[in-house]
Amino acid sequence: MWRELFTRATTISGVSNHRQQVSTHGLRRVASAVALLACAVFRPPAEAALQTATAGAEPASIKPASIEIDAGKVEGRLSPLLYGQFAEFMFENIKGGLHAEMIRNRGFEEAPNATGLSRYWERYPDDRNDDYGLSFGWDETTAYPNTKKSEGVAGGHSLRAQLGPGVIARHGVYQSRAPAKQGVEYHGYLWLKAEEFKGGVTVALEADMTGGEIYAEAEVENVGGDWRKYEFTLRPVKSDPLARLAILFHGQGRLWVDQVSLMPGDAVDGVRADVFEKVKALRPAFIRWPGGNVAQDYHWQWGVGPRDERATWINLSWKNEPEPSDFGTDEFIRFCRNVGAEPSITVNVEGRGATVEEAAAWVEYCNAPSTSKYGAMRAGNGHAEPYGVKYWEIGNEIWGDWVRGHSDATTYARNYNRYVAAMRAVDPSIKFIAVGDNDMKWNRAVLRLAGRDIDHLAIHHYYSHRETQGDLRNLMARPLRYERFYGEVEQAIQELAPGRPIKLAINEWGLDLPETQQYSILAALYGARLMNVFERRGDLIGMSSVSDLVNGWPGGIIQASRHGVFVTPIYLVNQLYATRFGAERLAVKVDGPTFDSGREGHGVPVLDVVVSRSADGEKIFIKAVNTDQVKSLMTRISVSGPRVSSRAVTESVTAESLSAASSFAAPEAVSIKRDEIKAGNNFVIELPRHSVSVITLSVDR
């Protein structure tokens, strides 16, 4: 995963490394270029984009183009793993985004404020008055479980409440941002220790305002004694996206609270129902986890075993954010199976104390029979049968000094060989993904020393608004630079690992653009052209995934807040390409206008096309990207070979303008439009300006 603010300023072979700071030479160009960049920076992004795109352009019109398909000529086969997804522990990518748990800091592990309340917890009903009948403490001596602290873990705390005589009857703690939906049951629990307490506890979903409406309430029965789990169910009578959960105490004495949980009843094995629906619609071939950069921080045993006994750990990659372990190995694999994806696990290589033995033990936990040590651990956690995880990535971006375990290429290759040998000894059938780079020196060293044991070489691509230099033509042309780079990598594979069928895994790619552009049609055009490159180089590229699946940064293709979800234009392209996926790539000749870009090349085709055919031969998919931001393309399509039906379906990712951007308020600003058209072996179609279109032809039998 990218290091924030692009701390590594390097551009190698014309291909930028992963979310790094772009080289600063562009900022020292001549005054005219500086002025252009300044316009892009200080002008509102949508306005800047529009003016840059139309500067010097002719009035809007239609240009001619042609697509000639030879359906009798198969030029390559596409990997069934080509389109996957990527999830990592990064802010609310997992917690709050993918995972359905509604309570943040549910173990009270974060440092308290002056009133003794840990982060996200507040005094109920509010802070207006002195409530001398109730005081709080952040207890480091009493907790459930009584976790011993270890490096990287923040465990062993609870909330202590001291109750005495007072004048405020309804008091306790609450947490905001717990949305309530009428018709959904909410299943919750909390752990209490109440050896010195006489009274009761009430939990409620209510409006997030003093004296607000109560939507649901439940009494916690028979409170007393040592640590015990108390379960409750809340059935709100009203929906409120801004509700809060209140835990109310009545009585006198001292009690402790820990491990509070509230889950919506419509969650799918612990995953938010709305997010699950969006992920499943993508039909991901695989899902990569737990990172990303954070893979080099993560120890897998943090995330197995009884949920409430797992550690809260410090996420060194993302601003030291405390990370709950609610979503661990078992939950991840179950999620993958539920959406029909293969799990792809990234192991920690020498980061934060990681070892070869730890990686091999993870393989054993996932794939070994229950008679083995870690297979027995898995069985004890409720999963007697091995999971059979096939894809294992050995570290993440080890070349970057922002990850723990950072090293040079030679050291990494030697470590790779050690990890592969140990992991393969547990399960000889697994496939390995090695860390590659946009730097060919790194790739050549790794291939030379470890190529015999590499199945996929992982390379990451991120393109920044800095690199566009205020010229959107650079953005539209950039994917073709990567296509040329893949040729260099292919030559190195053939030279340094001859006979070894190594594929590329472009398992992180994305854009660092202002939100108004990230969520506009511009991002869709870039993403679709890059995915067309993946299909054209399907002989070499075996896996790909955009960064990220849910939240994490503006590039997350599913943006999920507490109250709702919207999907980005790159999500729409992913959905369209994955659901209209052909097994064979067909020969195609494309003719049309070109453009010149400031730094990404000249004579760049405006129209980018790739054509594939379904495995059963009954469908032909034409994926056409019109990058012209002003003009439509009147396109003549001809198909030689089989007889094509007279009717076809078009699905286009479009927007009314370049400045239209999807958001929670306008989730359909960029959307997929579906239509039926006249087709046959020869037909004409207008490809709208700035659009991504998939034309599905049916082959008559």
17-36 tens-digit pLDDT: 333 333 323 322 333 333 33
Q: What pLDDT shows up at residue 148?
A: 63
Contacts of 498 (CB under 8 A, 6+ apart): none
Domain ranges of the chain: 83-100+267-579, 122-264
Token pair of 619 as six digits:
């469908």
Computed over every residue of the chain, the mean pLDDT equals 92
Reduced to 3 states (helix: H, G, I; strand: E, B; else coil), residue 240 is strand
Q: What pLDDT shows up at residue 34?
A: 30
- Annotated catalytic residue within 397, 467, 584, 651: 397
Q: What pLDDT shows up at residue 645?
A: 97
Each residue's pLDDT tens digit, 326-368: 999 999 999 999 999 999 999 999 999 999 999 999 999 999 9
Each residue's pLDDT tens digit, 400-454: 999 999 999 999 999 999 999 999 999 999 999 999 999 999 999 999 999 999 9
> Which percentage of the chain shows pLDDT scores above 90?
89
Q: What pLDDT shows up at residue 154?
A: 85
Q: Half-sphere exposure of 18 toward its Cβ, with a 13 Å CA cutoff?
A: 25
0.75 exceeded by the pTM? Answer: yes
Contacts of 423 (CB under 8 A, 6+ apart): 347, 359, 360, 363, 392, 430, 432
User: At which residue do the structure tokens 């793993």 appear?
Assistant: 81
Pick 191 or 153 by higher pLDDT. Answer: 191
Q: How confident is the model at residue 630 (pLDDT cuts 50, 70, 90)?
A: very high
Reduced to 3 states (helix: H, G, I; strand: E, B; else coil), residue 475 is helix
Each residue's pLDDT tens digit, 650-683: 999 999 999 999 999 999 999 999 999 999 999 9
Q: How far apart are CA 360 and CA 422, in angstroms?
A: 6
> For 153-272, where are the alpha helices, taking DSSP H only?
none
Each residue's pLDDT tens digit, 42-74: 333 433 433 333 333 444 578 999 999 999 999
Q: What pLDDT shows up at residue 24?
A: 29
Q: How confident is the model at residue 375 (pLDDT cuts 50, 70, 90)?
A: very high
Q: How far apart are CA 687 and CA 530, in angstroms?
A: 19
* Residue 235 C-alpha from the chain's centroid: 32
Fold (topology level) of 122-264: Jelly Rolls (2.60.120)
Phi, psi of 360 (to 5 degrees): -65, -35
411 contacts 405 by C-beta, under 8 angstroms: no
Query: Within 10 Å of residue 39's Cβ, how many Cβ atoms?
Result: 14
134 contacts 252 by C-beta, under 8 angstroms: no
Pick 69 or 149 by higher pLDDT. Answer: 69
Averaged pLDDT for residues 481-490: 98
User: At which residue do the structure tokens 């009884």 appear?
Assistant: 306
Token pair of 520 as six digits:
């506009």
98 contacts 287 by C-beta, under 8 angstroms: no
Please name which of 543, 542, 540 lies closest in space to residue 483, comparing C-alpha atoms: 540
Q: What pLDDT shows up at residue 147?
A: 65
Strand ranges (DSSP E) for 384-520? Answer: 391-394, 431-435, 456-464, 503-512
- Annotated catalytic residue within 323, 508, 535, 600: 508
Averaged pLDDT for residues 171-188: 97
Each residue's pLDDT tens digit, 494-547: 999 999 999 999 999 999 999 999 999 999 999 999 999 999 999 999 999 999
Q: How far apart are CA 85 and CA 94, in angstroms?
A: 13
Q: What pLDDT shows up at residue 287?
A: 98
Q: Is the CA virtual torsion 234, 239, 245, 246 positive or negative?
A: negative
The amino acid at residue 546 is: V
83-100+267-579 is classed CATH 3.20.20.80? yes
Is 195 among the catalytic positions? no
Q: What pLDDT shows up at residue 60?
A: 53
Is 495 among the catalytic positions? no
> Which percentage of the chain shows pLDDT scores above 70?
91
Pick 17 or 479 by higher pLDDT. Answer: 479
346 contacts 84 by C-beta, under 8 angstroms: no
Phi, psi of 119 (to 5 degrees): -50, 140
Strand ranges (DSSP E) for 43-133? Answer: 62-77, 83-86, 122-124
Q: Half-sphere exposure of 634 toward its Cβ, with a 13 Å CA cutoff?
A: 4
445 contacts 496 by C-beta, under 8 angstroms: no
432 contacts 480 by C-beta, under 8 angstroms: no
Q: How far apart are CA 242 and CA 181, in angstroms?
A: 10
Averaged pLDDT for residues 153-167: 93
Q: How far apart are CA 635 and CA 607, in angstroms?
A: 10
